[in-house]
């Protein structure tokens, strides 16, 4: 394991703590979803985050030109006012689905059921019972849903050295598949770990106004390090891991922002 940089217990310790709930106390490799494998095979993918660095860049048409547009953390349609910069399409979402995010998801089942796939990319062991009920509700509502084994996700946490953010967890999961390439854009690792205004306005409003008090809402739409749980998701650790990954993983393509800042 890399040096562990997170307020949560190290992954190996968590495996021992929750072994009875997750089926064992050892890391496992990822088991591909066959339907998802067919969907992703040979595809050029845009992995698009909600960060502000796309604002006024007019990259929407370019984003929409990819074979698949995947958005981590997105639970609603992209507003028409943002299409010019962020694109209009959403084919697949990855999501952590924590407590308040599940509530938002259940209010937007029509959107989720319109997608090609919805993927839970974070561990659910902390609330297994509620997560299973949530997952069953999605599936019963016609949502194509895939949840990787927690033991695999913990393995990624261990390899990187911190509890992953949703966007970075999405990237590592995608690389298990036979994709042509994945273009990273709208992802800035919370302003490269400096925080502040890190989300486009509609995304910020959706998240903060529905967070059950976990996140404060302010007119400047700034997100503080504590609200972003910098203690849990260490951004420098994830940034450094991506730098190393880029030395060998030729399928990853970077937008202008990441090219300049990595």
The pLDDT, as a whole number, for residue 202 is: 87
255 Cβ partners below 8 Å, 6+ apart?
59, 183, 184, 185, 186
- pLDDT for 82: 97
Domain ranges of the chain: 11-20+32-261
pLDDT score of 158: 96
| Long-range contacts at 173-176 (CB < 8 A, ≥ 24 apart) | 173/30, 173/94, 173/119, 173/121, 173/148, 174/40, 174/45, 174/47, 174/70, 175/249, 175/251, 175/252, 176/30, 176/32
pLDDT of residue 182: 98
Task: List the chain residues with pLDDT less than 50.
Answer: none
pLDDT of residue 198: 80
Helices H / strands E in the chain, number of each = 14, 7
Q: For residues 257 and 255, what is the distance between their CA atoms, to the nearest angstrom? A: 6
Q: Which CATH class is domain 11-20+32-261?
A: alpha beta
pLDDT for position 227: 75
The pLDDT assigned to 215 comes to: 66
């Amino acid at each position: 394991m890399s040096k562990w940089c997170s307020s949560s217990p190290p992954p190996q310790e968590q495996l021992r703590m929750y072994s009875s709930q997750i089926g064992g106390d050892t890391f496992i490799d990822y088991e591909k979803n066959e339907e998802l494998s067919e969907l992703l095979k040979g595809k050029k993918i845009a992995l698009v985050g909600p960060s502000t660095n796309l604002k006024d860049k007019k990259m929407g048409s370019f984003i929409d030109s990819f074979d698949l547009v995947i958005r981590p953390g997105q639970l609603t349609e992209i507003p028409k006012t943002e299409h010019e910069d962020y694109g209009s399409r959403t084919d697949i979402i990855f999501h952590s689905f924590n407590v308040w995010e599940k509530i938002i998801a259940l209010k937007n089942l029509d959107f989720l059921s319109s997608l090609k796939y919805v993927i839970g990319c974070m561990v659910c062991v902390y609330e297994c019972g509620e997560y299973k009920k949530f997952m069953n509700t999605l599936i019963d509502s016609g949502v194509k849903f895939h949840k990787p084994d927690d033991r695999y996700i913990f393995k990624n946490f261990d390899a990187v050295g911190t509890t992953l953010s949703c966007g970075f967890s999405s990237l590592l999961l995608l690389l298990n598949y036979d994709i042509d390439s994945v273009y990273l854009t709208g992802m800035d690792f919370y302003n490269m770990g400096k925080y502040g205004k890190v989300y486009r306005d509609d995304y910020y409003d959706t998240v903060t106004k529905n967070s059950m008090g976990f996140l404060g809402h302010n007119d400047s739409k700034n997100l503080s390090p504590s609200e972003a749980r910098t203690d849990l998701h260490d951004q420098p650790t994830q940034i450094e891991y991506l730098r190393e990954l880029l030395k060998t993983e030729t399928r990853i393509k970077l937008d202008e922002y990441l090219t300049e800042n990595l």
